[in-house]
Every structure is written in C-alpha cells, then in structure tokens.
Structure 1
C-alpha cells in the first residue's frame, strides 16, 4: 500500500471518494461497498493514518478532521467504521476520505 507516503492506492492521491460521493443522501438500505475501498480503510487502521472523514450523518453531511479509525465491523445490517470514541459510521454513507495534513 502507498498510504505511508500519504497516497491512497485506489485514487493515486490523498483523496478517496467514498461510496456516497455521487449521492445527495444515501437511503436507509445498506449498499455493499467495494472490496478495494474496504482494503484502503483496513490499511488506514493498521497504519493508524490520521484522516479527514466526510460522511452522511443524521443531520446531513458531516466532516471530522484528524480522526484515526479504530476498527471495521461487518454486521447483518451493514459494514461499519469504528472511531476511538466508539462512534460508528456506515461505510456506504462515507462521502469522502482525505489523508489529514497538519498545518
């Protein structure tokens, strides 16, 4: 993986469009995500990559800067990204992920 260089292998840069990138707001039914996208997230977990995560939450599009993904979980109702505070984000609700750059 190229992530240690600050680059996602899927996109070739520090920005990775998520499954919900081209949607106004995903509906309630879980839509499976690509294995390649999940692989990028798994790499971020292992490398403890600090990310800017943009996703659809209960109040619309939300961005969290400087997060590190703790884990990924697969359950009957979908696949989830788990943050250190145990907040869960459904993978198909992810709009975009960027490798966080400290200023």
Structure 2
C-alpha cells in the first residue's frame, strides 16, 4: 500500500504534543498504523522530529508515529 501524502496537523495540537514531550508523562495514544488498522500504545513522547517534510513523535522505545496518523493522544482527539 503506498504511503499517503503528509497532511500537517493544527498548530494547537502540535503545541499539545510538545507540552506532553516536555512533561515526559506516559500517555495513551491511538493512531493509524501503516497497514491502515487502528493501533494503541501507552508510552512517553520523547521528541518531535521532522524527516522528509513529515513530522513524527518519537516514543520512549524509539518507535516513531507520523503526526497525521494520530487519532487521540492523552484523551485529546486530533482536530481534522
């Protein structure tokens, strides 16, 4: 399945993610996995990075989730 074009998230939601990364607080996350299925994890957001004009959160275990794949983080839905 080809990767979908990156769709930037709202500035307010980006700020929320940055705040969670600064707090180093474990949070629940729901996101769309690469295969299109809904996935869940409980982790600490360590950083937000940009690669190839796409933004990602970096989790405690080193895994990365593209920001536009996020559905809900710490009980806050990503605005569409």
State if a TM-score over 0.5 links the two structures.
yes
Partner in structure 2 of residue 78 of structure 1: 54
Matching of residues 14-53 of structure 1 within 5 Å: 28-53=4-29
Instruction: Specify the structure having the higher radius of gyration (Cα).
Output: 1
How far does the alpha carbon of each residue in 1:36-62 deviate from its partner, in whole angstroms, 9 at most, with x for none? Answer: 111101100111121100000124100
CA distance in 2, matches of 1:92, 1:38: 10
Q: CA RMSD in A?
A: 1.4
Gaps of 5+ in 1: 1-26
Counterpart of 2:30 in 1: which secondary structure?
Answer: strand
Q: Does 1:61 align with 2:38?
A: yes
Counterpart of 1:81 in 2: which secondary structure?
Answer: strand
Matched residue count: 72
CA distance in 1, matches of 2:34, 2:68: 14
TM-score, length of structure 2 as denominator length: 0.81
Alpha-carbon offset, residue 91 of structure 1:
0.1
Determine which structure has the larger strand proportion and give its number. Answer: 2
